[in-house]
Amino acid sequence: MNSSLIIEKFKTVATTFSNESIAGWKAGGGKVVGYTCSFVPEELLLAAGLMPFRIRATGSVNSGLADDYFEAANICSMVRHTFNVMLTGAYDFLDGAVIGGGCDANRHIYDNLKRSPVKLSFLETIFFPHGSDDVMAEFYSRELGVLKSKIEDHFGVEITNDKLLDAIKLCNETRELQRKIYALRMSDNPPVTGAEMVAIMVAGSSLPKNEYNANLRELLCELAKIEPGLQNTLTRLMIVGPGNDETSLCDIIENTGGIVVTDLTCFGRKMVIGSVDEDNPDPLRAIADYQVLVRPFCPKNLGAQPHITKTVLESVKDFRVDGVVGQNFLCCDMWGGSLFILNKELRVTGTPMLRIEREYQADAAGQLKTRIQAFIETITGGAI
């Protein structure tokens, strides 16, 4: 939709693993620690002077190496593809990794890493609670305290409350800037496509945070200068589901008469809703409260469905969504069940929903394109 150099940079960063900024960070003596779930807080790593990098599978075309470790018939392909990329050596630039926080399949990356040829001097896991109340927030705060001590011991650093507060403010700034870009997509003629937004968000966990925030501020200035133009006649769609770290699904939608105006995925808008309380005297508890009580819940959480449905319905209204595409990876029982319930609940409100179960790469492009085109036609009455 535009020729922004910043968006082109984000696209490059989001479709590769190591990049020039990481190389520069490491050349200056900096260390990079990977993590595999958005419930692992970047704030804790930043406070230790580390660069967080979210481990992903972008561009992976097979999971052959990982299938020797996972039972392919029972483990979602996103987890297998992610682990497969690690086995190829693409993440050799990492100085450590924190695995976990999400589903059990994701957690088993930790178990398999320990018996794989990949050797990381720092490898830890963290358990994210299955509930969303004050007791669970206190539990997660203690879990973060344990991880904090391990990071301090291994990297020879001291993570003070002041450093944690600085990291919280930095990440809150990131979320606020990302929210501003999402807000622009509420307009009649969104200045960024869904595919571009995926790149913007994935780049956020692939670059040094200060650099990324500076890029976002520059991008917002660019987008503010774009003339609004006439009302866009494309069908406005929302994607709901697990991690979406590549653009294949958005590409199909946006080449078939639709535009993705928002999402609820854990590489997307789920990352930006709410902020960590900067006034809490206990920064670890503030981070835990945000992760457990504030952010949109994961389907693995007990009682999460009403919260997920409420968030989706609010998004449908705010972004004037014409239809929802609920997508999950095969073997992801949590999201599969959640989307089944969501479909029934959206039907009551009159919001159309298309359910898609797919492998990590949306490689059945012909079949998916046909289904998405038919879905859009049901919304538009056949006129695309």
Strand partners, 263: 239
Give the mean model confidence (pLDDT) for residues 111-124: 94
Query: Would you call 160 exposed, middle or buried from its count of C-beta atoms within 10 A (0-12, 13-18, 19+)?
Result: exposed
Give the mean model confidence (pLDDT) for residues 22-50: 96
In a domain, 178, yes or no: no
Question: Would you tell me the crossing angle of helices 194-204 and 209-224 to the nearest 10 degrees?
Answer: 150
Mean of the per-residue pLDDT values of the chain: 91
Q: Could you give the maximum distance between any two Cα atoms of the chain, in Å?
A: 63
- At 51-95, the pLDDT tens digits run 999 999 988 888 889 989 987 668 888 899 999 999 999 999 999
Closest CA relative to residue 14, chosen from 46, 60, 62, 56 = 56
In a domain, 282, yes or no: no
pLDDT band at 39 (very low <50, low <70, confident <90, very high): confident
Note whether 49 and 152 are within 8 A (CB): no
Contacts (Cβ under 8 Å, ≥6 apart) of 28: none
Look at 81-95, 100-114, 206-220 and tell me which has the smallest mean pLDDT: 100-114
Unique residue bearing structure tokens 């940079």: 9
Contacts (Cβ under 8 Å, ≥6 apart) of 57: 78, 81, 82, 84, 85, 245, 246, 360
pLDDT band at 230 (very low <50, low <70, confident <90, very high): low
Question: Would you tell me the crossing angle of helices 194-204 and 5-14 to the nearest 10 degrees?
Answer: 70
In a domain, 169, yes or no: no
- The whole-angstrom separation of Cα 210 and Cα 171 is 9
Closest CA relative to residue 336, chosen from 355, 359, 312, 315 = 355
Split into its structural domains, the chain has a count of 1
Question: What is the pLDDT at residue 73?
Answer: 66
Give the mean model confidence (pLDDT) for residues 148-162: 98
Q: Which two tokens stand for residue 214?
A: 């500076």
CATH number of the domain encompassing residue 51: 3.40.50.11890
Question: What is the pLDDT at residue 3?
Answer: 60
In a domain, 138, yes or no: yes
Give the mean model confidence (pLDDT) for residues 327-344: 89
In a domain, 229, yes or no: no
Structural domain boundaries enclosing 134 = 18-160
In a domain, 95, yes or no: yes
Unique residue bearing structure tokens 């660019």: 222
303 vs 154 pLDDT, higher one: 154
Give the mean model confidence (pLDDT) for residues 23-32: 97
Buried b vs exposed e over 4-34: b needs ≥16 C-beta within 10 Å?
bebbebbbebbbebbbebbeebeeeeebbbb
Terminal C-alpha separation, the chain: 19
Look at 190-204, 252-266, 297-311 and tell me which has the smallest mean pLDDT: 297-311
Give the mean model confidence (pLDDT) for residues 105-127: 92
In a domain, 74, yes or no: yes
Strand partners, 260: 237
In a domain, 84, yes or no: yes
Dump the DSSP string for 204-215: HTTS-HHHHHHH
Percent of the chain with pLDDT over 90: 73
Question: What is the pLDDT at residue 1?
Answer: 43
Question: If you compute the radius of gyration of the chain from its CA atoms, what whole number of angstroms results?
Answer: 20
pLDDT band at 302 (very low <50, low <70, confident <90, very high): confident
Closest CA relative to residue 324, chosen from 312, 314, 311, 333 = 312
What is this structure's pTM? 0.94
Question: What is the pLDDT at residue 102?
Answer: 73
CA angle 275, 278, 282 (to 5 degrees): 115
Question: What is the pLDDT at residue 130?
Answer: 86
Question: Cα-flanking dihedrals φ and ψ of residue 5, to 5°?
Answer: -70, -30
